[in-house]
A and B are shown apart, each in its own frame.
Chain A
Amino acid sequence: MAMSMLERVATAATMGTPDVVPCAPLVCGAAHRFSGQTYEEWSRCEDPEAMVAGGLAAIEYADMCGIVLLVDLTVEAGAFGCETIFPVMDTAHPNYDDPFIKGPGDYAKVKKINPRETGRMKGVLDQIAGYSKAIGETHAIVGFVYGSLGTLSMMRGPEAFFMDLVEHPDEVMGALEIMDDVLAEYAVAQKEAGAHAVCYDNLYASESILSKPLWRKFEGKGMLKVCDAIADSGALVVHHNCGNGIYFDELEKYGHPHAVSHAYVADDVDSWEEHKKKWGSKICTIGWMPPGPVAMLGNEEEIEEEVKAEMEIFKPGGGFIQSTGCEFPPNAPLKHAKMIVDAAKKYGVY
């Protein structure tokens, strides 16, 4: 008997071998086109029912194994008070011309909030509840939390924030500690609403941005707190990082991941083959089709070739979920998501 989509994901995420490699391109913002909303309306999360309807239609259209509850990376920052700009056809972003944190003294403005009731965090929880009711028994529902370091950088503006890490560490740390408590509660609320797994985005845990010691100093403890809360709630712990040279050893230590969604290999290996050998036997890989060059700009043949190549390396032994390395481009043709899934069905049978 064939496994359900949910069983496939659960099996692969816990390092097992399902009947077929599960596949879910990270169709998040792109689902707005199925919801009858503009991207702006969708991003505002004011109609979770329409968003769920859109997500379900996208799942059905592409035959995906689940959904990730990423709206955009300003959901948490917005709930903490950061002004957010919602372009009509682009991803929402903070108002960097008038940031919430204008100087080191403003880190003290970060206060505890109730994630169950605040801003778009509540909208995300409502969506999870909607998905749970509709497909909770058959498909994977993966919550999403943007880590405190990333969230705070949006509230300050990344450039000033990165310099503050060196020049004003105590002020930054104080705000992070408050946020980590809130994010842990937010993650638990996602599990309670019906998420099977919760994904923690730790973007700065990679060679692209911070040194390992600096990342550990500012996010290690906080990530552990949130990931402990996810694990204790009974949900699977998933991570996302689309940076280059990801610190898998740190993720293992401070985030005990079942699975990591990633676009590039770990910092201590040089190829996907090496990554599979070193990390692929203990942490499930979700990835890693390049979203721009292949998922968006590729043709059917190129997409199929990419899936085939990724399968050849990562399918053996299980512990692999075929996906894009980062969000499926919100402006990419949705038929490309279906092509990815179709190719995974073709090459992913065990």
Chain B
Amino acid sequence: MATAEKEKELIAGLRDAVINYKIADAKKLAEEAIKEGADAYKMTMEGLAGGMETVSEKFDNHEYFVPETLLCAKALYGALDVLKPHIKSDSGSKGQVVLGVMLGDVHDLGKNLIKAIFESAGWTVHDLGRDVPLKSFVEEQLRTDSDIVMLSAMMTTSMVGMKKLIPMIKEKNPNVKIMIGGAPISEKTVDDYGADTTADNAPNALREAMNMLESLRKGMVSA
């Protein structure tokens, strides 16, 4: 069992490794945390997620751009791979999302950034990858009972698939929230296609998802 002081030191180290994309250090500190008997969930949430929160702020403020954010995510995943098997299953997830790039589209950079930001914030992400058949989104949402489905498209040719897909998802589960994103997407697309919201970058997507999750849970309580 690690002392409180040691845990504090490890958390600070993990945060620093993520923020400054020290990929080898992140993994090494995660291994040390396990060896010392530190709480893996605490290391993940306060160290890695805490670090990624700062990364999101830096991205918002244009201190960090895509390469830096990807490298931070690489450091995060290096440590997360070590910590994850030691996280107790009852530690809880903030929410669940199904995520993927529309059929006919192979642009998955934005989707991967979103995955990293969401996982680091404690969400369970069911990543279907890119060029995903429409029915796979429907099936995965039903299988996982996810709160939110997130659809990404970088081209108008793949974007149009959303118009067909969104009613398919809503028909099976009217309560599920749908976020769409990518270069050709606008508020108008959200309205026209019957989605719930959009976001122009990963940190904003997380904020939108938190809002949607809150409204879903309020709805459940009032029902």
Q: Which residues of A does B touch, CB under 8 Å? A: 87, 89-91, 93, 96, 158-159, 162-163, 165-167, 207-211, 214, 242, 244-245, 290-294, 296-297, 326, 329-332
Q: A90-B104, A331-B157 are in contact. Are A292 and B186 (CB under 8 A)?
A: yes
Q: A90-B104, A209-B65 are in contact. Are A158 and B109 (CB under 8 A)?
A: yes
B184 contacts A329, C-beta separation under 8 Å: yes
Distance in Å from the Cβ of A326 to the closest Cβ of chain B? 8
Distance in Å from the Cβ of B57 to the closest Cβ of chain A? 16
Task: Tell me which residues across on chain A come within 8 A of B156, comparing CB atoms.
Answer: 291-292, 296, 329-332
B68 contacts A292, C-beta separation under 8 Å: no
Within 8 A of A (CB), among B90-128: 104-109, 112
The answer, among A162, A290, A296, A326, for a CB contact under 8 Å with B67, is A162
Distance in Å from the Cβ of A210 to the closest Cβ of chain B? 5
| Complex Cα spacing A244 to B70, Å | 19
Q: Can you give 20 contacting A-B residue pairs, CB < 8 Å?
A: A90-B157, A96-B106, A158-B107, A158-B109, A162-B66, A163-B67, A166-B21, A166-B68, A166-B71, A167-B71, A209-B66, A211-B68, A214-B65, A292-B189, A293-B186, A296-B156, A296-B184, A297-B188, A326-B183, A329-B157
B192 contacts A297, C-beta separation under 8 Å: yes
| Complex Cα spacing A245 to B200, Å | 13
Question: How many CB-defined contacts (below 8 Å) exist between A and B?
Answer: 79
The answer, among B112, B157, B160, for a CB contact under 8 Å with A159, is B112
Within 8 A of A (CB), among B178-216: 183-186, 188-189, 192, 200
Q: Beyond the given A296-B156, A329-B184, A331-B160, could you list 4 further A-B residue pairs with CB under 8 A, ordered by the A residue number?
A: A166-B71, A211-B65, A330-B157, A332-B156
Q: A162-B70, A297-B188, A331-B160 are in contact. Are A210 and B65 (CB under 8 A)?
A: yes
B158 at the interface (CB under 8 A from A): yes
Task: Tell me which residues across on chain B come within 8 A of A208, comparing CB atoms.
Answer: 66
Q: A159-B112, A291-B156, A292-B159 are in contact. Are A210 and B183 (CB under 8 A)?
A: no
Task: Tell me which residues across on chain B come within 8 A of A90, comparing CB atoms.
Answer: 104-105, 155, 157-158
Task: Tell me which residues across on chain A come within 8 A of B107, comparing CB atoms.
Answer: 158
| Complex Cα spacing A159 to B74, Å | 11
The answer, among A91, A163, A296, for a CB contact under 8 Å with B71, is A163
Q: A162-B70, A207-B65, A332-B156 are in contact. Are A292 and B106 (CB under 8 A)?
A: no
| Complex Cα spacing A294 to B74, Å | 37
B62 contacts A207, C-beta separation under 8 Å: yes
Distance in Å from the Cβ of B212 to the closest Cβ of chain A? 22
A89 contacts B157, C-beta separation under 8 Å: yes
| Complex Cα spacing A207 to B62, Å | 7
Task: Tell me which residues across on chain B come within 8 A of A292, comparing CB atoms.
Answer: 156, 159, 183-186, 189
A297 contacts B189, C-beta separation under 8 Å: yes
A87 contacts B71, C-beta separation under 8 Å: no
Q: A90-B104, A331-B160 are in contact. Are A293 and B188 (CB under 8 A)?
A: yes
Task: Tell me which residues across on chain A come within 8 A of B158, comparing CB atoms.
Answer: 90
| Complex Cα spacing A292 to B193, Å | 13
Task: Tell me which residues across on chain B come within 8 A of A93, comparing CB atoms.
Answer: 106
| Complex Cα spacing A329 to B185, Å | 13
| Complex Cα spacing A291 to B184, Å | 7
Closest to A87 in B: B104
Closest to A330 in B: B157
Task: Tell me which residues across on chain A come within 8 A of B62, comparing CB atoms.
Answer: 207, 211, 245
| Binary flags per residue of B133-165, CB closer than 8 Å to A gives 1, else 0 | 000000000000000000000011111100000
The answer, among A167, A210, A290, for a CB contact under 8 Å with B66, is A210
Distance in Å from the Cβ of B83 to the closest Cβ of chain A? 22
Task: Tell me which residues across on chain B come within 8 A of A91, comparing CB atoms.
Answer: 155, 157
Distance in Å from the Cβ of B30 to the closest Cβ of chain A? 20
Task: Tell me which residues across on chain B come within 8 A of A162, comparing CB atoms.
Answer: 66-67, 70, 109
| Complex Cα spacing A330 to B184, Å | 13
Distance in Å from the Cβ of A238 to the closest Cβ of chain B? 21
Closest to A85 in B: B106
